[in-house]
Structure 1
Amino acid sequence: MKIQSLEGYRAARYYTAWMDRTEQIGLLSVSGPDRFSWLQGMVSNDVRLLEQGAKRLQACILNPTGHVLTDLALVAVANGQLPALHDCILLDMPRENREKIGRLLDRFLITEDVELNDVTPQLACLSLQGPAAAQRIQQLNLGPCVIVEADHTGSGGFDIYVPTEMRDTLLHSLHIPVLDEATVELLRIEAGIPKYGAELDESVIALEANLRQTHISLSKGCYVGQEIMARIESRGHTNRGLTGLVFSPNQIPDIGETLYPVQEPAREVGRITSVAASSPAMDNRPIALAFVRHEFAQPNTLLHAGASRKEAVVVPLPFISTTQGTSE
């Protein structure tokens, strides 16, 4: 996937740009007096942080073997912020997981005083991304909404949840570059952010995808998959991990291609999950995210991809500097 213009890319990296997340996400609301304690046993991060005042919390819902059923963000909504939603927690997840997760959570509702509702049609989510996003939000004339810090690009940003009927009005008031799908994907890959359907699915253990610091609590107590997380942590590492690859110019790999060590060309040690054909952060060379076996994931390791043996070098994630924008 290749971007058509660098305008949106540069705006997101150095100023601010917007993206419309509305069609990509599913939203479930969890309300009722027991919502915090009930969710504490459902998700991989510590929901008490929301109870103590945090506005947004990233987490996963895991199966008993620690594999990812979905990644999600938990967003606190207070009375008066959004019409028809009162003191609830929004579960923001990939839209393809909404029905599956809704059914799963509903099965775990037994005696708790909790109400679970699908509110996807009621809300839109627009996101300002970039180092100047906070200043830009101050200039917007916003009505009922919920604003939370949310970084989808590696450059920082905010998600704005509004009633669906306000979506077009807000879009027309954002006189800044828009990020098309290809640019969003490039920014995500450069930032090393895993995405459901690419790096995340039910074959992936959460700790393999570098989610330890952002999505996983090992100290909060029991939740589905917690025992596996603790066991891996005590062992020190997973057998494989999410890794960055930089390719030679014009050697663009394909998603799904197998990776082989240069010295052991018959040994499969990894698989490519996401590809950007040209990365400004890496001198416009092709880059990729891949799961690579631990012993072959050290920086500067040389690997070959696919039958054509495209040459790649392993680099640390993210590809960008999170403090200075794109790498020099």
Structure 2
Amino acid sequence: MSTDDRTPFAARPGFVLDEATGVASHYGNPLIEQRSLSAGSSVVQVPSRGIVTVTGPDRLSWLDSLTSQSLKRLAPGISTETLLLDPSGRVEHAAGVLDDGETAWLLVEAASAEPLAAWLDRMRFMLRVEVADRSADLAVLGSFADLSLPAADPAGVPLVWVDPWREVAVGGVSYADEASHPGADWTYRETLVTAEGLAAVAASEIPAGGALALEALRIAAWRPRLGTETDERTIPHELDWLRSAVHLDKGCYRGQETVAKVHNLGHPPRRLVLLHLDGSDNVLPAHGAEVSAVSAKLGETVVVGEVTSSAVHYELGPIALAVIKRSVPVDAPLTVLADDTVVAAAQEVVVPPEAGAAAGVPRLPRLGGVRR
């Protein structure tokens, strides 16, 4: 990456470039940067963010018919989140949604922007909508408080998306224990800025943090992310994504049957956990690292899942999110393979094994069974 292509934050003291994303990995001390970000005192240029827009009078009703969230009556300036599922209910795309009265702004993972825009464009048919990939036009700044950043406002509504993860959305449900949910402190927001606005913030006195700091805070908040916590089999229930991105009482959309069936009658086959890792060996497991437990039946160690994200948190120490089999007992000691090192891990339940089966329909006796 040439100097000319670098973010204007590259002029900040201590700037260390993340070559994969082109933004700051850190500025010398990710743990201090985490504390500052969490306190709402600093800003981070969000890595790997894409922006897809949908304009036209049919935009909200059209998106409502395609995705998991109720969007028909989304008021200008109100933030929400939605998922695009495949016909079997598996997660294909996730988007933060903000409408300014003229345009619906979809904040997505950078790798998703082009394929999502292309898929939406094919689904327009005769509807009055236009789809565009605006990722190159605006940058995204993350913060945990209103720092009066110079938000773009092409229709008079500042483009500031406030993450709904903090509480259970209307029409949603959370499988996690609300009393201890770290999302209560998740005041995260993303501000869309022009190149001039980005340069102005970089030249200002507002402290900055890097991508490593933001990632550690996300993991500690149990906040799922497309492409890290998801794979080709993921359904929303496994990650507690019904909390913020699924409206259970809205009309039909692709994948709705699976969403309703698993929530009302079944259980998700896998579940998200937070792992507290033994830091003695000073190693972190990579994405995809095996998570193992001792099988009560076999009496030997078996693989029960994999790590999706890991970080060193400024208060919790080394932590990771992992997706494991639903059948793993909540008190089972786990181990994680980090390179060639076996790391002990204690699980903190995010999605409990009993998640789902909300309808409470009693199981009927099998035909031919003996009544007692």
Match of 1:287 among 319, 329, 341: 319
Moved more, 63-72 or 249-258: 249-258
Question: Paired residue for 2:38?
Answer: 13
Listed one character per residue, the Cα deviations across residues 41-87 of structure 1 (whole Å, up to 9, x for unaligned) are 1211111351x456111111111111111111111123xxxxxxxx1
- Segments of structure 2 that go 5 or more residues without pairing to the other structure are 1-17, 19-24, 166-182, 352-372
Question: Paired residue for 1:180?
Answer: 210
Moved more, 116-125 or 35-44: 116-125
One-letter amino acid of the counterpart of residue 259, structure 2: M
Residue 234 in structure 1 maps to residue 272 in structure 2: no
What RMSD in Å do the two structures reach over aligned CA positions?
Answer: 2.6
Residue 200 of structure 1 aligns to a residue whose secondary structure is: coil
Cα distance between partner residues in 2 of 1:143 and 1:28: 15
Please identify runs of 4+ aligned residues in structure 1 that moved more than 6 A. none
- Segments of structure 1 that go 5 or more residues without pairing to the other structure are 79-86, 319-328
Question: Paired residue for 1:270?
Answer: 305
Listed one character per residue, the Cα deviations across residues 244-283 of structure 1 (whole Å, up to 9, x for unaligned) are 111222243522222222344343211111111x32332x
Cα distance between partner residues in 2 of 1:162 and 1:14: 22
Question: Paired residue for 2:51?
Answer: 27
Which is richer in helix?
1
The Cα of 1:143 is off from its aligned counterpart by 7.0
Question: Paired residue for 1:113?
Answer: 128
One-letter amino acid of the counterpart of residue 230, structure 2: L
Moved more, 150-159 or 112-121: 150-159
The Cα of 1:39 is off from its aligned counterpart by 0.5
One-letter amino acid of the counterpart of residue 26, structure 1: G
The Cα of 1:214 is off from its aligned counterpart by 0.6
1:258–1:305: 8 Å Cα contact kept in structure 2? yes
Listed one character per residue, the Cα deviations across residues 68-119 of structure 1 (whole Å, up to 9, x for unaligned) are 11111111123xxxxxxxx110111011011111111111111111111222
One-letter amino acid of the counterpart of residue 69, structure 1: E
2:151–2:159: 8 Å Cα contact kept in structure 1? no
* Percentage of pairs with the same residue: 25
Structure-2 change in CA distance of 1:48 and 1:16 (3 Å):
farther
One-letter amino acid of the counterpart of residue 293, structure 1: K
Cα distance between partner residues in 2 of 1:214 and 1:177: 30
Question: Paired residue for 1:103?
Answer: 118
1:243–1:297: 8 Å Cα contact kept in structure 2? no
Cα distance between partner residues in 2 of 1:171 and 1:308: 40
One-letter amino acid of the counterpart of residue 195, structure 2: T
Residue 219 of structure 1 aligns to a residue whose secondary structure is: coil
So what's the TM-score if we normalise by structure 2? 0.73
Cα distance between partner residues in 2 of 1:312 and 1:294: 17
Larger radius of gyration: 2
Residue 89 in structure 1 maps to residue 138 in structure 2: no
Residue 226 of structure 2 aligns to a residue whose secondary structure is: coil
Structure-2 change in CA distance of 1:65 and 1:312 (3 Å):
same
Listed one character per residue, the Cα deviations across residues 169-199 of structure 1 (whole Å, up to 9, x for unaligned) are 13323x2321212112111111111222211
The Cα of 1:228 is off from its aligned counterpart by 0.8
Residue 224 in structure 1 maps to residue 254 in structure 2: yes
So what's the TM-score if we normalise by structure 1? 0.82
